[in-house]
């Protein structure tokens, strides 16, 4: 009997079939789709996510940012230092608990918010999805996230 490639027996090993690869590829494509919109602000996508949170909450500890973004200090500390250098935010130890570092929105970070208004709208257009479609997809992904997180 002729030998067949393994993927003939185990179609799960075929790349095209893999849900995980789709998520991985889509994630990078989304970052690229954001890039032309973000580069006018000279902000990377992870930095934009931090700004989204600070626009909403004004100040958060590194730990709180990490919980919301699912990132650890090894990623956040250098990222926040770069953002501090550009004066978008400030970092200071919490007086009530010197272990914590409080990250607060700075005036220049507030200015960026004005320029960011159209970004979510433009991106939704790029993805050509209706609101209900976006809702449904996000709900499914969030189920997986809570499962794996």
Measured from the CB atom, the residue of 28 and 117 that comes closer to DNA is 28
Tell whether residue 73 is a contact of a second copy (CB under 8 A).
no
Instruction: CB nearer to DNA: give 29 or 124.
Output: 29
Q: What is the torsional sign of CA 26, 29, 35, 37?
A: negative
Binders in 120-149 for DNA, by CB under 7 A: none
- Residue 18 contacts DNA per CB under 7 A: no
- Which whole-number Å values give the CA distances from 96 to 99, 101, 110, 149, in the listed order? 9, 11, 26, 30
Chain-centre distance for alpha carbon 120: 13
- Per-residue contact string for residues 56-95; x = within reach of DNA by CB under 7 A: -----xxxx-x---xxxxxxxxxxx-x--------x----
- In whole angstroms, how far apart are CA 74 and each of 13, 70, 91, 122, 148? 33, 12, 16, 32, 21
Strand partners, 92: 102
**Secondary structure letter of residue 58 according to DSSP:** S
Residues in binding contact with DNA, number by CB under 7 A: 33
Q: Which residues here bind a second copy, judged by CB under 8 A? A: 5-7, 10, 12-15, 17-34, 45, 49, 52-53, 55-56, 58, 68-70, 113, 116-117, 120-121, 123-124, 126-129, 134, 137-138, 140-142, 144-145, 147-149
């Amino acid at each position: 009997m002729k030998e067949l490639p393994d993927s003939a027996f185990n179609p799960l090993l075929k790349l095209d079939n893999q849900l995980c690869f789709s998520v991985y590829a889509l994630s990078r494509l989304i970052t690229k789709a954001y890039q032309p919109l973000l580069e006018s602000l000279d902000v990377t996508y992870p930095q934009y996510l931090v700004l989204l949170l600070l626009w909403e909450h004004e100040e958060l500890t590194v730990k709180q940012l990490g919980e919301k973004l699912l990132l650890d200090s090894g990623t956040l500390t250098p990222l926040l230092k770069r953002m501090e250098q550009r004066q978008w935010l400030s970092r200071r130890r919490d007086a009530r608990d010197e272990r914590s570092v409080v990250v607060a929105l700075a005036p220049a970070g507030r200015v960026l918010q004005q320029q960011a208004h159209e970004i979510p709208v433009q991106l939704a257009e790029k993805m050509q999805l209706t609101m209900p479609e976006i809702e449904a997809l996000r709900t499914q992904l969030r189920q997986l996230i809570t499962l794996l997180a």
